[in-house]
Structure 1
């Protein structure tokens, strides 16, 4: 439902609530109830609250809370305090408002006598309800805990009323600040290491690029998309806003560290037992993997004659080579034949998969969404989960990366070096690449940590044969180990026309997730970042890059028929972009799910600029004091 309906309701509500009539009891004029905004300020004054609270009715996400606050305060000023009265005031105040307007015995002069036990008992259940709805259970715990730290004074509010009011307006203020000013954010993964570390707590400046008005403003305060512990959605789509961004003082620049809503998170495999309630964020990647698994399980092995014999023979040949026994020329020729035959068989198998890939993807979606099962590669078994969940833009997972490309930029990646508009992108202080290491004896983990700042599992593994190193760390190791060899792990792009079927399937691992585009973690073909208002000609090469932009982010239908393209059912030879887009990459280049996996980030997904690390907790214990209150760059 559009937010317009909510604001229209707020405008006509004073008439429905008969405020023109009830205002007269307080010495005000009937006409004051007809002026939008001003009428809420008058109602607030009648209820004994500050008139400026009426301004909060304008703010999406807070307006409905303040409407409830006005109603409860208003009816209580007229003597309605019971649990039933409070429930009506919060959810359906019309009956009580009619009584206030029409019953001359009901006057707006009720004041609670906090020394009178009868008055306290009268409102006790209603006050408990307000506190519970404000902060369920925790609110009561906080209230009672803090009550032991202060002495109750005669004539003062009860602890439930006092702390209920305090917590309510603390949450209102905190929600406004969190939504429009800045938000705390915790680094959950190592994709930005070593610039940002797992356990870092950041301040995200939302005003720098312009605060984004929430698309789903009706949500539980101070949580993102799931209420902790009970694992239910924290929001409702009863009210939905169009994308709106307030003016900011800066644009997103190349190489800013940016927080954004995960662009591929419109659909997610949901399981509240997992971190963030998700079994991996990349639903589209999960579908590709599941489709391939289902296909491989379906293969009738009897239709692959001698494949097992071929494999066994090849293993025997390889075993001889590994043991230092050279194959004679006849055996080499035989081995080459076996390899060729085996490759042909495998290629034929996967070509059948490619020819019917959409059917297998449909089966995968059914397995995930209906059967609620997905194979977990890390655990080597099927996982039963809760199916799929759709999330609005502002409720998708928060991600943090470095903005490499801004709208209109041309990018390519060669041997892990990014080129922006033909110029080399800078190598950042903590940006790290992955190397195959040989001819080196790794010292103890303590030495590696103290001398080079390297940690097992995070920076080096496989007994030190694989290392993630910054340029400075690489230079230091080369200096101390002159005989060591450090070879950049650098899978090259392949000519698609020369790829086997199984190689083409690997193209689906990287954007644009197309069988016809071969990109790798360290090498990407040249591409253009979409810019609002710019028009491109649609062709067989670029459609794969921009189809998701057209359909998922700009919400058009797209079809290809016999080499022609149809957008919203009409034939199209070009397309004009409606939003700006960005290309985001992690500084931990070989361990980052970023734009190389899921593509462009639309402007309506941008949350804010990562400004400062205000706290840092070491997952191994302790606090990283050297990182406290450090600027992010």
Structure 2
């Protein structure tokens, strides 16, 4: 339901609640209840002692909280204190407002906290308010303090006192978190060494302008999942459209940016994982599962094929295990690609209906909670460096990024993967103690170090200590199609791993073909080569129906050869280039996914080595 309906509800609420009749019972004029906006100012002033709180009704994400606050405060001044009364005041207060208007009893004085009867009347209602403000923990604090302190005669109970304090602290925190800045913890090493696992930072939402929440009706101060409970923290009962308030500036190239995960609209919910998110990308999971299902279904057939190739290679006198694997894999890939869409559909159905996927690390099938669909503002928060602005031409050649055909600026701590010619040249502890290289930066099998994710400065230092060790960047060449522009079947399977995840486009972690970042107003002339880059833009981000038929391309049922882009897009990459799930995997970041600018680390801790004091209150560059 759109915002507009909720704001209309707020406007007509005083009339449905017959405030014009009960205002007189509170020694106010009836006509004051009939003037929109002003009626809320009067209600907050009379029943909450804070008329200016009416302003908070304008703020999405806070408006319904304040609506409940004024209603509960209102009905309590007319004697409705019980648990059931409080629930009604929060959710549906109209029955009680009707009773107030009908009975015509004068407003009661404020609660006499020295009167045990009045305190007992409101006890469970106060407990409910405290519970909704801060479940369990709030009661532990309030009752714990109450047990070790002496109650002052006539003072509020600790439950009431803490309920009031916490709910308005949460309102203030909610406003700050939503519209000013938000704390964020670095969970992975994709930005090392610019940002490290265990860094706690502030995201400045005023830098680019704060987004108005699309789903403001949610549990406060959590993102998309209630901690310790496998349930989402929000409801789409109230849903808005993308709106960004004015900010201090716009995204600049090479800013470190926090954004909602573009591929997070569809996710697999695994209760074993942090926040329930399995993997990084639903489409990637589908591709993996489709190929696995195909290989399992064809196991017997490919056993026969494997025997055939083994005998043929031996008869030719050129047999090796590697050559056999290559022939068999090529044959398997050919038959898989030939029926790719069918196997992907089977994978989607299995993930959705059977709720199982393969855990590649454990090598076994695991059960999960199924597929969840998340609105933009409730997708996982990611942090990367913005290396491509709307309209930029980008290309990656041998791990060097080019922006508009010129080498891009290299961040001070940008890491590449350097492979050593002498595996095991040092232990992980030696590398940490001498060079600050953490385990997450190492390419190793748990025992032998054979590669280092590091910047040029660090590699130079390592070379001085280990002069006999040579380091070379691990470059993965792009596949080259044959004379007809067709890739080998096994290469087509590999092409599905990187954006745009098309069998006919070869990109990888260190080499990426030249393309342009889309911008608002750009008119795309569709070709066989470029349609892959725009599929997700047209469908997932800009909400159109795309059909690719034999006679051409159809958008929203109409055949067309062009498309006009509706939003600006950005290209985000991690500074730890070989250990980052970024735009190379899932593509462009739409402007409506931008959350804010990473401004400062306020705390940092290494799980093994303790607090990193040199990173406390450090600006992010």
**CA displacement, residues 154-198 of structure 1 (integer Å, 9 cap, x when unaligned):** 111011111110011111111111111100000111111111111
CA distance in 2, matches of 1:263, 1:474: 34
For the residue of structure 2 that corresponds to 1:178, the secondary structure is helix
What residue is the counterpart of 1:77 in the other structure?
77
Say whether residues 1:553 and 2:541 are aligned partners: yes
Distance 1:563 1:339, change over 3 A: farther
What residue is the counterpart of 2:13 in the other structure?
13
1:310–1:338: 8 Å Cα contact kept in structure 2?
A: no
CA distance in 1, matches of 2:424, 2:94: 79
What residue is the counterpart of 1:356 in the other structure?
339
CA distance in 2, matches of 1:279, 1:340: 35
CA distance in 2, matches of 1:252, 1:458: 29
Say whether residues 1:464 and 2:452 are aligned partners: no
Aligned residues: 616
Distance 1:451 1:304, change over 3 A: closer
Deviates more, 1:89-98 or 1:519-528: 89-98
The two structures, once aligned, show a CA RMSD in angstroms of 2.0
2:426–2:449: 8 Å Cα contact kept in structure 1?
A: no
Distance 1:94 1:296, change over 3 A: same
- Within 5 Å, give how 1:437-516 maps onto structure 2: 437-439=420-422, 442-462=425-445, 463-497=448-482, 499-516=487-504
1:22–1:100: 8 Å Cα contact kept in structure 2?
A: yes
1:210–1:246: 8 Å Cα contact kept in structure 2?
A: yes
**CA displacement, residues 598-623 of structure 1 (integer Å, 9 cap, x when unaligned):** 00011111110000000112111521
What residue is the counterpart of 1:540 in the other structure?
528
CA distance in 1, matches of 2:80, 2:73: 9
**CA displacement, residues 436-468 of structure 1 (integer Å, 9 cap, x when unaligned):** 211476244443222222234532424222221
1:581–1:601: 8 Å Cα contact kept in structure 2?
A: yes
Distance 1:525 1:306, change over 3 A: closer
What residue is the counterpart of 1:90 in the other structure?
90
CA distance in 2, matches of 1:87, 1:621: 49
Say whether residues 1:565 and 2:525 are aligned partners: no
Normalising by structure 2, we get a TM-score of 0.95
Structure 1 residue 511 displacement after superposition:
0.3
- Within 5 Å, give how 1:157-172 maps onto structure 2: 157-172=156-171
What residue is the counterpart of 1:326 in the other structure?
none
Structure 1 residue 303 displacement after superposition:
6.3
For the residue of structure 2 that corresponds to 1:411, the secondary structure is strand
CA distance in 1, matches of 2:53, 2:284: 48
Deviates more, 1:23-32 or 1:287-296: 23-32
For the residue of structure 2 that corresponds to 1:531, the secondary structure is coil
**CA displacement, residues 66-93 of structure 1 (integer Å, 9 cap, x when unaligned):** 1111011011112221222222211221
What residue is the counterpart of 2:378 in the other structure?
395
What residue is the counterpart of 1:576 in the other structure?
564
Structure 2 alignment gaps of length 5 or more: none
What residue is the counterpart of 1:613 in the other structure?
601
What residue is the counterpart of 1:266 in the other structure?
265
CA distance in 2, matches of 1:162, 1:172: 16
For the residue of structure 2 that corresponds to 1:404, the secondary structure is strand
For the residue of structure 2 that corresponds to 1:450, the secondary structure is helix
- Within 5 Å, give how 1:103-142 maps onto structure 2: 103-104=103-104, 106-142=105-141
2:224–2:378: 8 Å Cα contact kept in structure 1?
A: yes
Normalising by structure 1, we get a TM-score of 0.94
Distance 1:517 1:302, change over 3 A: closer
Structure 1 residue 305 displacement after superposition:
4.4
Deviates more, 1:93-102 or 1:377-386: 93-102
1:411–1:422: 8 Å Cα contact kept in structure 2?
A: yes
**CA displacement, residues 476-501 of structure 1 (integer Å, 9 cap, x when unaligned):** 22334343221211111112336321
CA distance in 1, matches of 2:584, 2:66: 44
Distance 1:407 1:140, change over 3 A: same
- Within 5 Å, give how 1:200-599 maps onto structure 2: 200-302=199-301, 305=304, 307-308=306-307, 310-311=309-310, 334-335=317-318, 346-439=329-422, 442-462=425-445, 463-497=448-482, 499-599=487-587
